[in-house]
Amino acid sequence: MSRPIYFAGLSLTSPRGVSSEDVVLYNIPEFATAYKEKFGVFFLPTVTDSELSFERNKTRILVHYFSSWKDYVIVTRPFSFSVEEVEAIARKIREESKVIASIAASRLSSLTRLSSRFMGIVDGFEIDLGLTSLLIGEHRSFESYAIDVIEEFVSVSKRPVFVKVSPSVQLSSEFLENLRQTGIAGMVFTPHIVYSIGREFFRVHSPYLSKLYALIWAKLIASTDIPTAYISDIPEHLLGEVSVEKTFDILLFDTALLSTLVDMPGVVELDKEMPIRWRYIPDPLRPAIDVVREPQCLNVCPYRAFSKEKNLHDSPSGLAVADEKCNVCGLCLSSCKDVKLMATLTPE
């Protein structure tokens, strides 16, 4: 067995992990078992207790542009998981690896209430400042408010606290030092820009942003001794030996891990505007792809909801309808050109 890695006081089996921005992997039933050898830490999907209600039939991922795993723009939906779902995931994987609960809330009372749901089943907490700034709005000085809330939360937390920063948080050396002085255990840097329109939230994943912000923040962290993690949109096998992402103590992944699961057809939609709302796939409808015209789409579903043999046998038209394993992620809707929503009727 390899020697443990120490990160922010936690003993990890590997300096790699899954980020709290994943919207696909944690929904795969066998995911944690399959990945436990590879990852030393699982940051659970971020949850909030704001009035944003959890919507099960809303899609969670959209491919805006895809040329390769070094050149893509994927948009995901923050707060895709309910608190109950994330609690269940934590209970399932806590025996396997270190588990961190990720939370975003506009008030200290909400943070403490949410964190109490995870006590005893996680090894630490992550506060997502990018999402917190969207929940708070722009009516007060965010930096000083954030420092006050984090300081209070760290003082009452019985577990290590990590702070996650994104491009929407103005990160100066002074703010970094103020964060360090709150007593946080470590920082997670995410290159993902988040935006909201009304009650809809969006997060943009792109290898170009990933590389750009790694360069900017690598310089900033050189002057601090805080343990750091970086979320890379470039899969590990495509990172060079001396890539700037490796300046950080550990690396976390989310959309980049899709490269190990799915075959992504090329998607050229850069002329289209970024989304302002997520699609619904209402029950009992499910996606149906044309496997004659787009055979590559059979392998785009991370949950293997399309079966070529079954569908082609049942449907001479060449349409493959997703089976009950479809959990409405939305990946096929934006990756394949001609997807219909269909209901499968079974005789009484």
Phi–psi pair at 161, nearest 5 degrees: -115, 130
Measured from the CB atom, the residue of 244 and 328 that comes closer to ligand SF4 is 328
Q: Least distance to ligand SF4 from the beta carbon of 229, Å?
A: 28
Q: Which is nearer to ligand SF4, 132 or 335 (CB)?
A: 335
Which C-beta is closer to ligand SF4: that of 291 or that of 329? 329
Residue 292 CB, shortest distance to ligand SF4, in Å, is 18
Query: Contact positions toward ligand SF4, by CB under 6 A?
Result: 287, 300-301, 303, 305, 322, 326-332
CA separation for the pair 94, 158 (Å, rounded): 17
Count of CB atoms within 10 A of residue 50's CB? 16
Nearest to 178 by CA among 135, 139, 226, 110: 226
CA distance 229 to 248: 6
Least gap, CB of 261 to ligand SF4 (angstroms): 11
Contact 335, 59 (CB under 8 A): no
What order of strands is seen across the sheet that includes strand 61-68?
193-197, 200-205, 71-76, 61-68, 267-268
Least separation in angstroms between residue 322's CB and ligand SF4 is 4
How far apart are alpha carbons 298 and 305 in whole angstroms?
A: 9
CB of 4 to ligand SF4, least distance (A): 36
| C-alpha to C-alpha distances, 144 to 64, 70, 135, 176, 188, nearest whole angstrom | 35, 37, 16, 12, 19
Task: Between 90 and 328, name the residue whose CB sits nearer to ligand SF4.
Answer: 328
The residue behind tokens 């690396």 is: 251
Nearer to ligand SF4, 91 or 340 (CB): 340
Given the complex with ligand SF4, which of 130 and 287 has the nearer CB atom? Answer: 287
Ranges assigned E (strand) in 233-271: 250-253, 267-268
